[in-house]
């Protein structure tokens, strides 16, 4: 979870190997996923969905 200066709301940052991969935010009053990749990447689907769900639940607790 993060509070960053260029956002109004909290965000959930998801990191892999010390690199920010994507984030969940609610900046426009709906849940959005923002990818921070510079090139194509492949992620395990089950882990990806589980991580997204966990981050969403944590954000909902803080809103």
Q: What residues form DSSP beta bridges with 14?
A: 22
pLDDT tens-digit map of 23-63: 888 888 888 888 887 776 767 778 889 998 998 999 888 87
> Exposure pattern of 31-44 as b/e (b: 16+ CB <10 Å)?
eeeeeeeeeeeeee
Q: What is the pLDDT of residues 7-28, one digit of tens each?
A: 888 889 999 889 898 888 888 8
């Amino acid at each position: 979870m993060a509070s960053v200066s260029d956002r109004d709301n909290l965000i959930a940052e998801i990191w892999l190997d010390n690199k920010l991969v994507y984030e969940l935010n609610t900046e426009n009053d709906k849940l959005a996923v923002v990818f921070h990749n510079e090139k194509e990447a492949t992620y395990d689907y089950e882990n990806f969905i589980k991580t997204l769900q966990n981050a969403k639940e944590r954000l909902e607790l803080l809103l």
